[in-house]
Amino acid sequence: MKLLSLLSIGVLFSLPLQANEMLTEVPATASAALPDRQAALPAVPKKVGENYLQPASLTDIPAGVFGDKVRLGYQLFVNTQTLRDKYVGNQLSCANCHMNAGQQANSSPLWGAYFAYPAYRKKNDKVNSFQERVQGCFTYSMNGKAPESGSPELVAISAYSYWLGMSGLMAQYNVSGPVPELSDAELVKGAMRDDFPMPEAIAKNLDTKALSQLPGRGFPKAPEPELAYAPERGMIVYQAHCQTCHGEDGQGQIIAGVAALPPLWGPQSFNWGAGMHRVNTAADFIYENMPLGKSVPLTVQQAWDVAAYVNSFDRPQDPRFDGDVSKTQATYHQHQGYYGQSVAGKPILGTDSYPVFPLKNTVKP
Protein backbone atom coordinates (compact mmCIF):
# COMPACT_ATOMS: atom_id res chain seq x y z
CA MET A 1 0.00 0.00 0.00
CA LYS A 2 2.69 2.37 1.08
CA LEU A 3 4.83 1.48 -1.89
CA LEU A 4 1.91 2.20 -4.16
CA SER A 5 1.37 5.67 -2.76
CA LEU A 6 5.05 6.47 -2.97
CA LEU A 7 5.13 5.31 -6.54
CA SER A 8 2.16 7.38 -7.60
CA ILE A 9 3.54 10.44 -5.87
CA GLY A 10 6.80 9.89 -7.68
CA VAL A 11 5.06 9.69 -11.01
CA LEU A 12 2.98 12.76 -10.44
CA PHE A 13 5.84 14.87 -9.20
CA SER A 14 8.03 13.91 -12.05
CA LEU A 15 5.60 15.40 -14.54
CA PRO A 16 5.94 19.11 -13.65
CA LEU A 17 9.72 18.83 -13.72
CA GLN A 18 9.60 17.60 -17.26
CA ALA A 19 7.22 20.20 -18.42
CA ASN A 20 9.29 23.35 -18.19
CA GLU A 21 9.41 23.83 -21.92
CA MET A 22 5.66 23.78 -22.03
CA LEU A 23 3.41 26.72 -21.81
CA THR A 24 0.85 27.09 -19.07
CA GLU A 25 0.95 26.89 -15.32
CA VAL A 26 1.85 23.67 -13.65
CA PRO A 27 -0.38 22.38 -10.84
CA ALA A 28 1.32 22.96 -7.52
CA THR A 29 0.05 19.87 -5.82
CA ALA A 30 -0.30 16.30 -6.89
CA SER A 31 -3.32 14.08 -7.29
CA ALA A 32 -5.48 15.59 -4.58
CA ALA A 33 -5.66 18.89 -6.43
CA LEU A 34 -6.93 17.38 -9.66
CA PRO A 35 -10.66 17.31 -10.15
CA ASP A 36 -12.15 14.48 -12.22
CA ARG A 37 -11.31 15.88 -15.54
CA GLN A 38 -9.76 12.76 -16.86
CA ALA A 39 -10.34 13.30 -20.53
CA ALA A 40 -11.80 10.54 -22.59
CA LEU A 41 -9.84 9.62 -25.67
CA PRO A 42 -11.06 11.64 -28.63
CA ALA A 43 -14.27 10.16 -29.95
CA VAL A 44 -15.02 11.69 -33.29
CA PRO A 45 -18.03 11.12 -35.48
CA LYS A 46 -17.13 8.90 -38.41
CA LYS A 47 -17.97 10.28 -41.82
CA VAL A 48 -18.46 8.20 -44.90
CA GLY A 49 -16.09 8.66 -47.80
CA GLU A 50 -13.33 10.36 -45.87
CA ASN A 51 -9.80 10.11 -47.15
CA TYR A 52 -7.36 9.03 -44.53
CA LEU A 53 -3.72 9.89 -44.38
CA GLN A 54 -1.55 7.19 -45.93
CA PRO A 55 1.84 6.98 -44.24
CA ALA A 56 4.75 5.83 -46.39
CA SER A 57 5.85 2.22 -46.23
CA LEU A 58 8.18 1.18 -43.43
CA THR A 59 10.66 0.17 -46.12
CA ASP A 60 10.99 3.89 -46.94
CA ILE A 61 12.38 4.85 -43.53
CA PRO A 62 15.77 6.33 -44.38
CA ALA A 63 19.08 4.90 -43.32
CA GLY A 64 20.95 6.86 -40.67
CA VAL A 65 20.52 8.13 -37.14
CA PHE A 66 17.12 9.74 -37.63
CA GLY A 67 15.78 6.66 -39.42
CA ASP A 68 17.10 4.51 -36.60
CA LYS A 69 14.95 6.45 -34.13
CA VAL A 70 11.90 5.96 -36.33
CA ARG A 71 12.60 2.25 -36.60
CA LEU A 72 13.09 1.90 -32.85
CA GLY A 73 9.78 3.65 -32.32
CA TYR A 74 8.04 1.12 -34.53
CA GLN A 75 9.70 -1.76 -32.71
CA LEU A 76 8.80 -0.52 -29.25
CA PHE A 77 5.26 0.14 -30.37
CA VAL A 78 4.71 -3.32 -31.81
CA ASN A 79 6.52 -5.34 -29.15
CA THR A 80 6.39 -3.18 -26.05
CA GLN A 81 7.27 -6.23 -24.00
CA THR A 82 10.91 -5.46 -24.70
CA LEU A 83 10.38 -2.77 -22.03
CA ARG A 84 8.83 -5.12 -19.48
CA ASP A 85 10.06 -4.37 -15.95
CA LYS A 86 11.78 -1.25 -17.22
CA TYR A 87 8.73 0.82 -18.14
CA VAL A 88 6.01 -1.77 -18.69
CA GLY A 89 4.14 -3.63 -15.94
CA ASN A 90 1.68 -5.75 -17.89
CA GLN A 91 1.48 -8.03 -20.91
CA LEU A 92 0.30 -5.41 -23.39
CA SER A 93 1.88 -3.80 -26.41
CA CYS A 94 0.84 -0.43 -27.81
CA ALA A 95 -0.21 -2.13 -31.05
CA ASN A 96 -2.86 -4.14 -29.20
CA CYS A 97 -5.19 -1.15 -29.19
CA HIS A 98 -3.65 0.87 -32.02
CA MET A 99 -4.16 -1.44 -34.99
CA ASN A 100 -1.57 -1.81 -37.70
CA ALA A 101 1.24 -0.55 -35.52
CA GLY A 102 -0.49 2.79 -34.94
CA GLN A 103 -1.11 3.45 -38.62
CA GLN A 104 -4.77 2.47 -38.92
CA ALA A 105 -7.36 5.22 -39.23
CA ASN A 106 -10.10 5.12 -36.57
CA SER A 107 -7.84 3.16 -34.29
CA SER A 108 -6.24 6.14 -32.54
CA PRO A 109 -3.46 6.32 -35.13
CA LEU A 110 -0.17 7.89 -34.08
CA TRP A 111 -0.25 10.23 -37.05
CA GLY A 112 -3.55 11.61 -35.79
CA ALA A 113 -2.25 12.17 -32.28
CA TYR A 114 1.07 13.67 -33.27
CA PHE A 115 -0.51 16.73 -34.88
CA ALA A 116 -2.87 17.20 -31.93
CA TYR A 117 -0.13 17.84 -29.36
CA PRO A 118 0.91 19.89 -27.44
CA ALA A 119 -2.59 20.12 -26.03
CA TYR A 120 -4.33 20.90 -22.81
CA ARG A 121 -5.21 17.65 -21.12
CA LYS A 122 -7.80 17.44 -18.39
CA LYS A 123 -6.23 14.31 -16.98
CA ASN A 124 -3.35 16.22 -15.46
CA ASP A 125 -4.76 19.71 -15.87
CA LYS A 126 -2.01 21.19 -17.99
CA VAL A 127 -0.72 21.50 -21.50
CA ASN A 128 0.92 18.25 -22.47
CA SER A 129 3.57 17.72 -25.05
CA PHE A 130 3.36 14.63 -27.21
CA GLN A 131 5.91 12.83 -25.07
CA GLU A 132 3.94 13.63 -21.93
CA ARG A 133 0.89 12.08 -23.54
CA VAL A 134 2.92 8.96 -24.25
CA GLN A 135 4.21 8.99 -20.66
CA GLY A 136 0.58 8.78 -19.62
CA CYS A 137 0.20 5.64 -21.74
CA PHE A 138 3.05 4.00 -19.86
CA THR A 139 1.65 5.01 -16.47
CA TYR A 140 -1.89 3.83 -17.14
CA SER A 141 -2.36 1.65 -20.21
CA MET A 142 0.93 -0.16 -19.74
CA ASN A 143 0.55 -0.21 -15.93
CA GLY A 144 4.18 0.78 -15.77
CA LYS A 145 6.51 3.67 -15.17
CA ALA A 146 6.85 6.59 -17.54
CA PRO A 147 10.24 6.84 -19.28
CA GLU A 148 11.97 10.11 -18.47
CA SER A 149 11.38 13.06 -20.78
CA GLY A 150 13.79 13.01 -23.64
CA SER A 151 14.62 9.35 -23.08
CA PRO A 152 15.54 7.32 -26.16
CA GLU A 153 12.21 5.47 -25.92
CA LEU A 154 10.08 8.63 -25.97
CA VAL A 155 12.21 10.18 -28.70
CA ALA A 156 11.79 7.00 -30.73
CA ILE A 157 8.01 6.78 -30.35
CA SER A 158 7.76 10.50 -31.16
CA ALA A 159 10.00 10.07 -34.21
CA TYR A 160 7.95 7.15 -35.49
CA SER A 161 4.69 9.08 -35.00
CA TYR A 162 6.07 12.17 -36.70
CA TRP A 163 7.46 10.17 -39.60
CA LEU A 164 4.15 8.41 -40.19
CA GLY A 165 2.23 11.67 -40.21
CA MET A 166 4.67 13.76 -42.14
CA SER A 167 5.27 11.13 -44.81
CA GLY A 168 1.51 10.86 -45.29
CA LEU A 169 1.03 14.62 -45.55
CA MET A 170 3.95 14.99 -47.96
CA ALA A 171 2.45 12.35 -50.23
CA GLN A 172 -0.94 14.01 -50.07
CA TYR A 173 0.42 17.46 -50.96
CA ASN A 174 3.11 16.34 -53.40
CA VAL A 175 6.05 17.44 -51.33
CA SER A 176 9.07 15.62 -52.70
CA GLY A 177 12.16 14.46 -50.86
CA PRO A 178 12.69 12.71 -47.55
CA VAL A 179 10.75 13.59 -44.40
CA PRO A 180 12.65 16.53 -42.85
CA GLU A 181 14.69 15.46 -39.87
CA LEU A 182 13.94 17.08 -36.53
CA SER A 183 16.03 17.30 -33.38
CA ASP A 184 15.02 15.17 -30.39
CA ALA A 185 13.83 18.28 -28.56
CA GLU A 186 11.57 19.18 -31.47
CA LEU A 187 10.31 15.64 -31.96
CA VAL A 188 8.97 15.10 -28.46
CA LYS A 189 6.91 18.29 -28.43
CA GLY A 190 4.41 17.30 -31.09
CA ALA A 191 3.27 19.37 -34.06
CA MET A 192 0.36 21.51 -32.86
CA ARG A 193 2.36 24.67 -32.39
CA ASP A 194 3.08 27.75 -34.45
CA ASP A 195 6.82 27.15 -34.48
CA PHE A 196 6.54 23.65 -35.88
CA PRO A 197 8.55 23.39 -39.11
CA MET A 198 5.78 22.50 -41.55
CA PRO A 199 6.54 22.48 -45.28
CA GLU A 200 4.85 25.43 -46.98
CA ALA A 201 2.83 23.29 -49.41
CA ILE A 202 1.16 21.57 -46.48
CA ALA A 203 0.82 24.61 -44.22
CA LYS A 204 -1.06 26.59 -46.86
CA ASN A 205 -3.66 23.82 -47.10
CA LEU A 206 -3.98 22.84 -43.47
CA ASP A 207 -3.57 25.10 -40.46
CA THR A 208 -2.59 23.64 -37.07
CA LYS A 209 -6.25 23.31 -36.09
CA ALA A 210 -7.10 21.29 -39.20
CA LEU A 211 -4.02 19.16 -38.65
CA SER A 212 -5.09 18.43 -35.09
CA GLN A 213 -8.38 17.07 -36.40
CA LEU A 214 -7.31 14.84 -39.24
CA PRO A 215 -10.01 12.42 -40.39
CA GLY A 216 -9.54 9.01 -38.78
CA ARG A 217 -8.07 10.42 -35.60
CA GLY A 218 -9.03 8.75 -32.31
CA PHE A 219 -11.72 6.12 -32.14
CA PRO A 220 -14.98 6.93 -33.90
CA LYS A 221 -17.79 7.51 -31.48
CA ALA A 222 -20.02 4.43 -31.31
CA PRO A 223 -23.71 5.24 -31.58
CA GLU A 224 -25.63 5.16 -28.31
CA PRO A 225 -27.02 1.72 -27.49
CA GLU A 226 -30.74 1.18 -27.47
CA LEU A 227 -30.65 -0.36 -23.99
CA ALA A 228 -28.41 0.75 -21.14
CA TYR A 229 -25.20 -1.28 -21.41
CA ALA A 230 -25.14 -4.39 -19.23
CA PRO A 231 -22.23 -6.70 -18.37
CA GLU A 232 -24.51 -9.72 -18.05
CA ARG A 233 -25.53 -9.43 -21.70
CA GLY A 234 -21.92 -8.64 -22.48
CA MET A 235 -20.84 -11.98 -21.11
CA ILE A 236 -22.88 -13.72 -23.78
CA VAL A 237 -21.31 -11.57 -26.48
CA TYR A 238 -17.88 -12.25 -25.03
CA GLN A 239 -18.35 -16.00 -25.03
CA ALA A 240 -19.63 -16.00 -28.58
CA HIS A 241 -17.20 -13.61 -30.25
CA CYS A 242 -14.21 -12.81 -28.05
CA GLN A 243 -13.07 -15.66 -25.88
CA THR A 244 -11.54 -17.76 -28.65
CA CYS A 245 -8.79 -15.16 -28.82
CA HIS A 246 -8.84 -13.51 -25.41
CA GLY A 247 -9.54 -16.64 -23.38
CA GLU A 248 -12.42 -17.69 -21.18
CA ASP A 249 -10.70 -15.92 -18.31
CA GLY A 250 -9.80 -12.82 -20.33
CA GLN A 251 -6.09 -13.47 -19.98
CA GLY A 252 -5.31 -13.50 -23.69
CA GLN A 253 -3.14 -15.88 -25.62
CA ILE A 254 0.43 -15.97 -24.34
CA ILE A 255 2.87 -17.59 -26.77
CA ALA A 256 6.57 -17.84 -25.96
CA GLY A 257 6.11 -15.48 -23.02
CA VAL A 258 4.54 -12.70 -25.06
CA ALA A 259 0.85 -11.99 -25.41
CA ALA A 260 0.03 -12.68 -29.04
CA LEU A 261 -3.50 -11.67 -28.10
CA PRO A 262 -3.81 -9.33 -25.15
CA PRO A 263 -5.23 -9.91 -21.65
CA LEU A 264 -8.31 -7.73 -21.15
CA TRP A 265 -8.55 -7.67 -17.37
CA GLY A 266 -6.68 -8.97 -14.34
CA PRO A 267 -3.08 -8.29 -13.28
CA GLN A 268 -1.60 -8.31 -16.79
CA SER A 269 -3.87 -5.74 -18.41
CA PHE A 270 -4.28 -1.94 -18.35
CA ASN A 271 -4.94 -0.33 -14.96
CA TRP A 272 -7.91 1.56 -13.59
CA GLY A 273 -6.49 4.87 -14.77
CA ALA A 274 -6.28 3.88 -18.44
CA GLY A 275 -8.78 5.34 -20.88
CA MET A 276 -9.85 1.90 -22.00
CA HIS A 277 -11.42 1.11 -18.61
CA ARG A 278 -14.18 3.54 -19.54
CA VAL A 279 -17.08 1.66 -21.00
CA ASN A 280 -17.66 4.30 -23.69
CA THR A 281 -14.03 4.31 -24.86
CA ALA A 282 -13.94 0.51 -24.96
CA ALA A 283 -17.25 0.47 -26.83
CA ASP A 284 -15.88 2.94 -29.40
CA PHE A 285 -12.77 0.84 -29.85
CA ILE A 286 -14.59 -2.47 -30.04
CA TYR A 287 -17.33 -1.32 -32.37
CA GLU A 288 -14.80 -0.07 -34.88
CA ASN A 289 -11.96 -2.55 -34.54
CA MET A 290 -13.15 -5.88 -33.16
CA PRO A 291 -13.18 -8.80 -33.77
CA LEU A 292 -9.69 -8.59 -35.22
CA GLY A 293 -9.98 -8.91 -39.01
CA LYS A 294 -13.69 -7.96 -38.82
CA SER A 295 -15.07 -11.29 -39.97
CA VAL A 296 -18.39 -10.33 -38.41
CA PRO A 297 -19.72 -6.93 -37.39
CA LEU A 298 -20.87 -6.55 -33.80
CA THR A 299 -24.06 -4.59 -33.27
CA VAL A 300 -23.90 -1.31 -31.38
CA GLN A 301 -25.62 -2.96 -28.43
CA GLN A 302 -23.18 -5.89 -28.44
CA ALA A 303 -20.18 -3.54 -28.50
CA TRP A 304 -21.43 -1.58 -25.48
CA ASP A 305 -22.46 -4.67 -23.53
CA VAL A 306 -19.19 -6.47 -24.07
CA ALA A 307 -17.25 -3.30 -23.25
CA ALA A 308 -19.12 -3.24 -19.95
CA TYR A 309 -18.40 -6.92 -19.34
CA VAL A 310 -14.66 -6.61 -19.96
CA ASN A 311 -14.48 -3.59 -17.66
CA SER A 312 -16.49 -5.20 -14.86
CA PHE A 313 -13.51 -7.24 -13.63
CA ASP A 314 -10.75 -6.07 -11.36
CA ARG A 315 -7.46 -4.94 -12.84
CA PRO A 316 -4.35 -3.13 -11.58
CA GLN A 317 -5.05 -0.24 -9.22
CA ASP A 318 -5.49 3.34 -10.37
CA PRO A 319 -2.02 4.88 -9.84
CA ARG A 320 -3.74 7.95 -8.36
CA PHE A 321 -5.27 5.79 -5.59
CA ASP A 322 -4.30 7.13 -2.19
CA GLY A 323 -5.71 4.42 0.05
CA ASP A 324 -9.41 5.24 -0.15
CA VAL A 325 -11.38 3.72 -3.00
CA SER A 326 -14.45 5.87 -2.52
CA LYS A 327 -12.32 9.01 -2.52
CA THR A 328 -10.42 7.91 -5.61
CA GLN A 329 -13.70 7.08 -7.25
CA ALA A 330 -15.26 10.40 -6.35
CA THR A 331 -12.24 12.34 -7.54
CA TYR A 332 -11.33 10.50 -10.71
CA HIS A 333 -14.13 8.21 -11.77
CA GLN A 334 -17.18 10.32 -12.45
CA HIS A 335 -17.71 8.69 -15.81
CA GLN A 336 -18.90 5.48 -17.44
CA GLY A 337 -16.93 2.83 -15.60
CA TYR A 338 -17.09 0.44 -12.68
CA TYR A 339 -14.27 1.56 -10.40
CA GLY A 340 -15.58 1.83 -6.85
CA GLN A 341 -18.68 -0.16 -7.67
CA SER A 342 -19.83 -3.69 -7.08
CA VAL A 343 -20.89 -5.63 -10.15
CA ALA A 344 -23.09 -8.72 -9.85
CA GLY A 345 -22.57 -8.95 -6.09
CA LYS A 346 -18.78 -9.15 -6.38
CA PRO A 347 -16.52 -7.08 -4.08
CA ILE A 348 -16.26 -3.37 -4.82
CA LEU A 349 -13.85 -2.89 -7.71
CA GLY A 350 -10.73 -1.11 -6.54
CA THR A 351 -10.74 -2.54 -3.01
CA ASP A 352 -8.53 -5.46 -3.92
CA SER A 353 -7.00 -4.38 -7.20
CA TYR A 354 -3.76 -5.77 -8.53
CA PRO A 355 -0.44 -3.97 -8.02
CA VAL A 356 0.75 -1.08 -10.13
CA PHE A 357 3.96 -1.82 -12.05
CA PRO A 358 4.70 -5.29 -10.68
CA LEU A 359 7.84 -7.05 -11.83
CA LYS A 360 7.04 -9.78 -14.32
CA ASN A 361 8.23 -12.64 -12.13
CA THR A 362 6.02 -11.51 -9.24
CA VAL A 363 2.77 -11.83 -11.19
CA LYS A 364 1.14 -15.19 -10.80
CA PRO A 365 0.25 -16.68 -14.16
Per CB under 8 A, residues contacting other proteins are: 58-59, 61, 71, 74-79, 82, 95, 99-101, 103-104, 240-241, 244-245, 247, 253-256, 258, 260-261, 291-296
Smallest CA-to-CA distance from 34 within 333, 271, 317 is with 333
Taking the C-alpha atoms of residue 260 and residue 256, their distance in angstroms, rounded to an integer, is: 9
User: Smaller CB distance to other proteins: residue 121 or 360?
Assistant: 360
Minimum distance between the CB of residue 295 and other proteins, rounded to whole angstroms? 3
Q: Which is nearer to other proteins, 100 or 334 (CB)?
A: 100
Distance in Å, CB of 54 to other proteins, minimum: 9
Q: Which is nearer to other proteins, 17 or 260 (CB)?
A: 260
Q: How far is the CB of 245 from other proteins (least distance, A)?
A: 7
The count of other CB atoms within 10 Å of the CB of residue 126 is 20
Nearer Cβ to other proteins (16/178)? 178
For residue 266, the SS3 value is coil
Calpha distance 74→84 (Å, rounded): 16
**Nearest distance, CB of residue 316 and other proteins, angstroms:** 24
The nearer residue to other proteins, 59 or 362, going by C-beta atoms, is 59
Q: Which is nearer to other proteins, 1 or 256 (by Cβ)?
A: 256
The minimum distance between CB 92 and other proteins, in angstroms, equals: 13
Q: What whole-number distance in Å separates Cα of residue 213 and Cα of residue 7?
A: 35
Helices (H), ranges, 137-248: 152-172, 184-187, 200-203, 208-211, 231-241, 243-246
Report d(CA 97, CA 261) in Å as an integer: 11
Is it true that the peptide bond before 297 is cis, omega within 30 degrees of 0?
no
- Least Å from the CB of residue 242 to other proteins: 9
Element (DSSP H or E) covering residue 254: strand 253-255
d(CA 220, CA 43): 5
We find the least distance from the C-beta atom of residue 43 to other proteins, in angstroms, to be: 21
Closest to other proteins by CB, 58 vs 175, is 58
Q: With contact defined as beta carbons under 8 Å apart, do 318 and 269 qualify?
A: no
Phi/psi for 322 (5° steps) reads -120, 25
Helix (H, G, I), strand (E, B) or coil at 162: helix
